[in-house]
Amino acid sequence: MVEPEDSRIRAIRLFLAVADGTVSEVDFWPEMDRLFHELDDPIVALAREEAHHYWGNFHARNILLVRTKPKPAFVAQGREMFRTFARALEEHWPEEKVQEAVKHI
């Protein structure tokens, strides 16, 4: 059985890897899905939801359906959000504090 604290540490590492740009989307999703099912944590659930938006930036297409590069501001915003999620898990923030912090990113 996986200990919840081990899963939290893996989640922190995964979120920091997204923030640093050192994890690919292909590697991210299997680990994120495992963590989501292992942990009953609102921060992980929120991070999973936000991950869809973050990775979606890399799949954007224009009106002619030609793939476009992600806007640097959106990528930076997503990376900052994942830094916040990692910090929140590390410091055991309450859900309300996380929600408030995310609103200001």
Q: Which tokens sit at 84?
A: 């916040």
Asked whether the predicted pLDDT for residue 101 surpasses 60, the reply is yes
Q: Give residue 2's pLDDT.
A: 61
Question: What does the DSSP 8-state code read for residue 70?
Answer: P
Is residue 98 within 8 Å of 88, Cβ to Cβ? yes
- Residue count (the chain): 105
Asked whether the predicted pLDDT for residue 70 surpasses 90, the reply is no
**If pLDDT is split at 50, 70 and 90, which confidence band does 32 have?**
very high
Mean pLDDT calculated for residue range 54-82: 90
Model pTM score: 0.90
Count the neighbouring beta carbons within 10 Å of the beta carbon of residue 93: 17
Task: Report the domain count for the chain.
Answer: 1
Range of 80's domain?
4-103
The span from the CA of 98 to the CA of 46, in Å, is 9
